[in-house]
Amino acid sequence: MAEDFEPKVVAFLCRWCAGAGADLAGTSRLRYPPNAIPIRVNCSGRVDMEWVMEAFRSGADGVLIGGCHPGDCHYVSGNYKTRRRVYLLRKVLAEMGIEPERVRLEWVSATEGAKFARVMREFVSELKKLGPLHLEGAERAAEPVAARGRS
C-alpha cells in the first residue's frame, strides 16, 4: 500500500518569491512530483495557521509554506512572523499526535525554480515515508471553522 500512496500536499506560496520560483520551475520544465495544490497568497505572513489545519482536515497529508528568504520579504517581516507561527504550530501538532514534519516552511526566491523542485521532491518522499494522515472525524472537525462568521 505504501508504494501506491501519493500524498496530497497543499502549498501556500507567496506571490513575490516562492510563487514566482514555482512558476520558474514550470517554465524551466523541471521535473518534480505533481502532488501539490498550489495556493498563491500575497505573503507567507498572511498564511493563517487555521488554513493549515483546514487543509489537513480536508485531506491533505502535508502542507508546504513557501516564503521569501530572510531580508527579502516584500512586506519586511511577514516571513519572520510565519516562521515563529510554524514553529509553535509544529509543537502543538506534536502534542496532538500529528507528525510536525507534515508542515514545512521553505524560503524560495523567484530565481530558485530548481530549489522549489528539490523541495517538492524531498517533501513528497518524506510524506510517503510518513504515510497518509488519517484524521478521526475529520468532516465534523471542519465544522467550527466553516460555521463561524468572520466579519
Residue 34 or 71 with smaller CB distance to other proteins: 71
Which of 71, 75, 23 lies closest to 44 in space, CA to CA?
75
Interface residues with other proteins (CB under 8 A)? 48-50, 53, 56-57, 70-71, 77, 80-85, 87-89, 91-92, 95-98, 133-138, 140-141, 144-145, 148-151
Residue 30 or 98 with smaller CB distance to other proteins: 98
Shortest distance in whole angstroms from residue 146 CB to other proteins = 10
Burial 12-48 (b: 16+ CB within 10 A, else e): bbbebbbbbbbbbbeeeeeebbebbebeebebbbbbe
Q: How far apart are CA 60 and CA 132, in angstroms?
A: 9
Shortest distance in whole angstroms from residue 109 CB to other proteins = 15
Residue 103 or 120 with smaller CB distance to other proteins: 103
Shortest distance in whole angstroms from residue 69 CB to other proteins = 9
Q: How far apart are CA 67 and CA 59, in angstroms?
A: 23
What residue has cell string 497543499? 10
Total Cβ atoms within 10 A of residue 71: 10
Residue 17 or 25 with smaller CB distance to other proteins: 17
Shortest distance in whole angstroms from residue 150 CB to other proteins = 6
Residue 49 or 110 with smaller CB distance to other proteins: 49
Shortest distance in whole angstroms from residue 133 CB to other proteins = 7
Q: How far apart are CA 29 and CA 58, in angstroms?
A: 30
